[in-house]
Amino acid sequence: MDHTYVLTARFDEPLAADHLPAFRAALAEAVGFEQEWFHNHNNDPGDQRQLHYRYPCVQYKLQGHQPVLVAIGPLALKVRSLFEKLQWDLSLMGGQRSMQVDRLCLQRFPLAVEPGQELPYHYRLIDWQALNQQNYRSFQQLQGLQASIEFLHPKLIAHIINFAKGISWNIETRLVVEITEMFPSYSRNYKGFRPQLFNFAFRSNACLPDMIGLGKGASLGFGVLRKRRSRKALRRDSA
Residue 51: per-residue pLDDT? 56
| C-alpha to C-alpha distance for 166 and 135, rounded to whole angstroms | 24
Task: State percent of the chain over pLDDT 70.
Answer: 88
What CATH architecture does domain 113-238 belong to?
Answer: 2-Layer Sandwich (3.30)
Which residue ranges make up each domain of the chain? 3-109, 113-238
What CATH architecture does domain 3-109 belong to?
Answer: 2-Layer Sandwich (3.30)
Q: Which residues pair with 226 in a beta bridge?
A: 124
* Four-residue CA torsion sign, 90, 93, 95, 100: negative
> Closest by alpha carbon to 128, among 218, 227, 40, 8?
218
Collapse the DSSP code of 208 into the 3-class scheme (helix H, G, I; strand E, B; otherwise coil) and give the result. coil
Residue 109 and residue 190 in contact, taking contact as beta carbons nearer than 8 Å:
no
pLDDT tens for 123-150 read 999 999 999 888 888 998 999 999 999 9
Kindly report the number of other CB atoms within 10 A of residue 166's CB atom.
16
| C-alpha to C-alpha distance for 172 and 205, rounded to whole angstroms | 12
Q: Is the pLDDT of residue 155 over 90?
A: yes
For the whole prediction, is pTM greater than 0.85?
A: yes
pLDDT tens for 33-80 read 677 777 665 555 666 565 556 899 999 999 999 999 999 998 899 889
| C-alpha to C-alpha distance for 27 and 85, rounded to whole angstroms | 13
Residue 186: per-residue pLDDT? 87
Task: State percent of the chain over pLDDT 90.
Answer: 63
DSSP character for 179? E
pLDDT bin (cut points 50, 70, 90) of residue 11 is very high
- Range with lowest mean pLDDT among 85-89, 96-100, 215-219: 85-89
pLDDT tens for 194-220 read 889 999 999 999 999 999 999 999 999
| C-alpha to C-alpha distance for 138 and 151, rounded to whole angstroms | 9
Residue 199: per-residue pLDDT? 97
| Contacts (Cβ under 8 Å, ≥6 apart) of 47 | none
pLDDT tens for 103-127 read 999 999 999 999 988 899 999 999 9
Residue 118 and residue 230 in contact, taking contact as beta carbons nearer than 8 Å:
no
User: One fold for both 3-109 and 113-238?
Assistant: yes
| C-alpha to C-alpha distance for 10 and 100, rounded to whole angstroms | 8
DSSP secondary structure string for all residues of 107-136? EEEE-EE--SS---EEEEEEEE----HHHH
Residue 73: per-residue pLDDT? 92
Q: Is the pLDDT of residue 238 over 70?
A: no
Residue 188: per-residue pLDDT? 82
| C-alpha to C-alpha distance for 204 and 217, rounded to whole angstroms | 23
Q: Which residues pair with 177 in a beta bridge?
A: 204
